[in-house]
Amino acid sequence: MKSARVGLRCTWSSMQVCAHSQKVCFADFKHPCYKMAYFHELSSRVSFQEARLACESEGGVLLSLENEAEQKLIESMLQNLTKPGTGISDGDFWIGLWRNGEGQTSGACPDLYQWSDGSSSQYRNWYTDEPSCGSEKCVVMYHQPTANPGLGGPYLYQWNDDRCNMKHNYICKYEPEINPTAPIEKTYFTNQPGDTHQNVVVTEAGIIPNLIYVVIPTIPLLLLILVAFGTCCFQMLHKSKGRTKTSPHQSTLWISKSTRKESGMEV
């Protein structure tokens, strides 16, 4: 499992640059990895479907939540992501809960929501009087720390249904990875039910780690080219030396260019 990454750009080709994108994995290699993608520019935020495709393009899914423990874990990660000094403030996050129906407003509406990754989890964390249903079919996790509290308290971490074409940040979820990389930035800890301190490793993913994934697969080809080039140079050098040697059958006699008079001959 790769320990964890903090990147500055989303990899989905059609998406604009992220202001901050943090991928976090656990040191025990058993828990899922997560990535919080936050955009400073409102115009760069994405719809529900765009967020879903962005996660899937990186081998993940839009976040599903299995229980309250996982909800609290995500809350702690968001608190770390948005701590003072990071420049990150209000902005809700898409999660993978949505409703495939047309304008239901009956009491059965909350039961129609399902997870986009196929999870059967029945865990819900709705804000007071939510979901409102109607044309709002996709779900966000509130993250509005500067907003005045409503009837259900601060607009932080509870869920709200919204129109699927609205623009928000998003959270991805990944299967635990197999081959960890050494952390190069920092390590922090977050509490998790059942553990006093759960080690979470965060590393910086800059241009060099990305280049590694490009260079390593090309090493066999580079070695083949190097061997072929060396063989070619050796043959050329060998032929060049062969031309400078005198042939064993070549005569060693020489003829003087000066005119020599034969004795006993007169003109």
Burial class (CB in 10 A: 0-12, 13-18, 19+), 227: exposed
At residue 42, φ and ψ (nearest 5 deg) are: -60, -35
C-alpha 75/C-alpha 258 separation (Å) is 104
Residue 136 resides in a domain: yes
Residue 111 resides in a domain: yes
Residue 125 vs residue 90, higher pLDDT: 125
Residue 41 resides in a domain: yes
Residue 34 above 70 pLDDT? yes
Residue 232 resides in a domain: no
Residue 228 resides in a domain: no
Helix residue spans in 200-251 (DSSP H): 207-215, 219-244
Q: Please give the model's pTM, rounded to 2 decimal places.
A: 0.62
Domain with 118 in it:
13-172
**CATH number of the domain to which 105 belongs:** 3.10.100.10
Buried b or exposed e, range 235-251, using 16+ CB within 10 angstroms: eeeeeeeeeeeeeeeee
Residue 235 resides in a domain: no
Question: Any bridge partners for residue 33, and if so which?
Answer: 174
Residue 189 above 90 pLDDT? no
User: Which of 23-32, 62-71, 112-121, 149-158 shows the lowest per-residue confidence on average (mean pLDDT)?
Assistant: 23-32
Confidence of residue 2 (pLDDT cuts 50, 70, 90): very low
Residue 59 resides in a domain: yes
Residue 141 resides in a domain: yes
Total tally of structural domains belonging to the chain:
1
